[in-house]
Structure 1
Amino acid sequence: MKLSKSITIVMLTAGVLAGLSATGCSSRGKSSSGSTTYSNPLPVTFGDPFILSASDGKYYMYGTGGMEKGFGAYSSDNLVDWHFEGQVYSGNQPGSWTVKNYWAPEVYEIDGRYYMFFSADWKENPTNELENFRIGVAVADQPTGPFTEVSDKPLFDPGYPIIDANILQHDGRTYLYYSRCCYKNPVESEVAEWARVQNLFQEIEESWVYGVEISNDFTTVIGEPVLLLQPPSTMADPQTEWESRSVTSGEVNRRWTEGSFAFEYNGKIYMMYSANFFGGENYAVGYAVADNPLGPFAKADNNPVLEKNVASGGEVTGTGHNMVFRTKEEGKMYTVYHGRTQKTGNERVVFIDEMNIDENGVLTVDGPSTSEKEL
Structure 2
Amino acid sequence: MRFYCTDDTVDLEQYPYHVRDVHISDPFILADPKSRCYYTYVQFADTERFPDVETDKEHGVFYVLESKDLIHWSKPQICFRQNNFWADKDYWAPEVHIWKGRYYLFSSFRADGHYRKCQCLVSDSPKGPFEPIRQEAVTPDGWQSLDGTLYVDRSGKPWMVFCHEWLQVGDGQICAIPMSDDLGEAIGDPVILFRASDGKWNAKGAKEGGYVTDGPFLHRLPGGKLIMLWSSFTEKGAYAVGYATSRFGDILGPWDQESEPLYALDGGHAMLFYTFGGQLMMACHCPNDHPKKRILLFEMEEDKNGLHVVNEVTGNWFHAAGGPAKGWVYKQPCVEIPSFAKDPRG
Alignment partner, residue 26 of structure 1: none
Q: Report the secondary structure of 1:229's partner residue.
A: strand
Q: Tell me the distance in 1 between the aligned counterparts of 2:192 and 2:99.
A: 28
User: Where do 5+ consecutive residues of structure 2 fail to align?
Assistant: 7-17, 46-54, 319-333, 341-346
Q: 1:207 to 1:41 in 2, by over 3 A?
A: farther
Q: In the TM superposition, what whole-angstrom CA distance separates every residue of 1:84-122 from its partner, at most 9, and x where no partner exists? A: 24221122x12x121311101111234553221110114
> Is residue 57 of structure 1 aligned with residue 66 of structure 2?
no
Say which of 88, 92, 96 aligns to 1:103.
92
User: Where do 5+ consecutive residues of structure 1 fail to align?
Assistant: 1-32, 186-204, 234-238, 309-317
CA RMSD of aligned residues (A): 2.7
Q: Tell me the distance in 1 between the aligned counterparts of 2:139 and 2:262.
A: 32
Q: CA deviation at 1:340?
A: 1.9
**TM-score, reference length from structure 2:** 0.75
Say which of 71, 84, 106 aligns to 1:80.
71
Is residue 50–residue 106 contact of structure 1 (8 Å, CA) maintained in 2?
yes
Q: Tell me the distance in 2 between the aligned counterparts of 1:35 and 1:367.
A: 14
Q: In the TM superposition, what whole-angstrom CA distance separates every residue of 1:247-296 from its partner, at most 9, and x where no partner exists? A: 4xx4x53321120001112211110000039xx96111100001212211
**TM-score, reference length from structure 1:** 0.70
Q: CA deviation at 1:348?
A: 1.3
Is residue 122–residue 134 contact of structure 1 (8 Å, CA) maintained in 2?
no
Number of aligned residues: 290
Q: Tell me the distance in 1 between the aligned counterparts of 2:262 and 2:2.
A: 30
Q: Tell me the distance in 1 between the aligned counterparts of 2:80 and 2:216.
A: 23
Say which of 252, 257, 261 aligns to 1:294.
252
Q: 1:246 to 1:111 in 2, by over 3 A?
A: closer
Q: Tell me the distance in 2 between the aligned counterparts of 1:65 and 1:80.
A: 19
Is residue 20–residue 295 contact of structure 2 (8 Å, CA) maintained in 1?
yes
Q: In the TM superposition, what whole-angstrom CA distance separates every residue of 1:340-368 from its partner, at most 9, and x where no partner exists? A: 29xx8842111101222245x13222466
Is residue 107–residue 147 contact of structure 2 (8 Å, CA) maintained in 1?
yes
Q: Report the secondary structure of 1:48's partner residue.
A: coil
Q: Tell me the distance in 1 between the aligned counterparts of 2:211 and 2:294.
A: 23
Alignment partner, residue 27 of structure 1: none
Q: Tell me the distance in 1 between the aligned counterparts of 2:88 and 2:42.
A: 18
Alignment partner, residue 175 of structure 1: 159
Is residue 182–residue 254 contact of structure 1 (8 Å, CA) maintained in 2?
yes
Is residue 49–residue 64 contact of structure 1 (8 Å, CA) maintained in 2?
no
Q: Tell me the distance in 2 between the aligned counterparts of 1:352 and 1:281.
A: 22
Alignment partner, residue 326 of structure 1: 274
Q: CA deviation at 1:209?
A: 0.5
> Is residue 284 of structure 1 aligned with residue 240 of structure 2?
yes
Q: Tell me the distance in 2 between the aligned counterparts of 1:47 and 1:148.
A: 22
Q: In the TM superposition, what whole-angstrom CA distance separates every residue of 1:203-256 from its partner, at most 9, and x where no partner exists? A: xx22211012212221232322111121226xxxxx45x411534xx4x53321
Say which of 227, 230, 233 aligns to 1:270.
227
Q: CA deviation at 1:156?
A: 4.0
Which runs of structure 2 are paired with 1:203-222 in the superposition (5 Å)?
Answer: 205-222=170-187
Is residue 25–residue 294 contact of structure 2 (8 Å, CA) maintained in 1?
yes
Q: Tell me the distance in 2 between the aligned counterparts of 1:345 and 1:160.
A: 25
Q: CA deviation at 1:70?
A: 2.3
Say which of 121, 142, 155 aligns to 2:125.
142
Say which of 337, 340, 363 aligns to 2:284.
337
Q: Tell me the distance in 1 between the aligned counterparts of 2:177 and 2:290.
A: 37
Alignment partner, residue 347 of structure 1: 292
Q: 1:110 to 1:210 in 2, by over 3 A?
A: closer
Q: 1:70 to 1:281 in 2, by over 3 A?
A: farther
